[in-house]
Amino acid sequence: MPDQKFSPTRSLVTGGAGFLGSHLCDRLIAEGHEVLSVDNYFTGSKRNLKQLLDNHAFEAIRHDITFPLYLEIDQIFNLACPASPPQYQDDPIQTTKTSVNGAINLLGLAKRLGIPILQASTSEVYGDPEVHPQTEDYWGNVNPIGPRSCYDEGKRCAETLFFDYHRQLSLEIKVARIFNTYGPRMDAADGRVVSNFIVQALRGDPLTVFGDGSQTRSFCYVDDLVDGLFRLMHSPPEITGPINLGNPGEFTMLELAENVIELTHSKSTIEFHELPQDDPTRRRPDITRASESLGWEPKVPLRDGLSRTIAYFEDFFAGK
């Protein structure tokens, strides 16, 4: 037989123990990659990686990306950063440092190795948008000194760094702007609306709706989102992004709450609370660019995704 050596791609996933990062690790392993997860476990959990710990192609390292790291890999997915308001506001200085200093460290690593790097940016770069739906050429409406700005402006600065490394140093970059994503392995206490509603409904507590419930979001199931990230990383070098990844289906908070109550067969009621500062009133991605350049679009309808997520939380609370 010819002397051939299989050389799998070695992928680094920062934030690999998080909700989204752990699903990306699963996908990469399934595609035959060797995967190195880096996480400081500030919001991530080893529980999210338990299905991979015995896999010889997987390795997990505890590390904070605000400090340099020296590895030999073939591509980088940078997903490290708290992503829910209660989590990123818990230590706003560290949140900004993770986005900015972390980006500098990982871009430096990618430059040294001459490898592509993907940045998990966010729809929060659009702030409380005055353009609807949001296209990638919209610059946003962001409060730079508000309680959410540690995350919003940190991610905006990270995008700036990525594109400057690309223009000045010809580094191959990919920037994904991720809209609301949900699914199994969400943290029950992370404060995101889908997990909040499901946990409250399963416990029989009132569902907390802020404002009058008319504000909208678009919810993308995690498997669809991971597929978008995978396609973006393996797209031609000239496709840099930013590219919106999210489900363009738009739902009010009241519609989401009613769906969760129905699917959980809960007797919960709905309580209305004051709307937090700088909370966006409308959010929906225009995914034309993702569709045309990546051949990507989400496939999982909201009710199907909610049913899968509810089943996960039922098992979680049952200790399974």
Nearest Cα neighbor of 142 from 299, 312, 279 is 279
What is the number of other CB atoms lying within 10 angstroms of the CB of residue 275? 14
Report the distance separating Cα 35 and Cα 28, nearest Å.
Answer: 7
Amino acid present at 219: F
**151 has catalytic annotation:** yes
Q: DSSP code of 275?
A: P
* H helix or E strand, kind and range, residue 293: helix 288-294
Catalytic-labelled residue, pool 151, 165, 182, 221: 151
Report the distance separating Cα 88 and Cα 98, nearest Å.
Answer: 10
Report the distance separating Cα 120 and Cα 223, nearest Å.
Answer: 15
Report the distance separating Cα 46 and Cα 299, nearest Å.
Answer: 29
265, two tokens: 């067969």
Nearest Cα neighbor of 271 from 214, 208, 205, 194 is 208
- Considering Cα of 219, then 224, then 229, then 234, what sign does the dihedral take? negative
* H helix or E strand, kind and range, residue 196: helix 193-203
Residues 6 or more apart whose Cβ sits within 8 Å of residue 206: 200, 268, 269, 270, 271
Which amino acids are annotated catalytic? 151
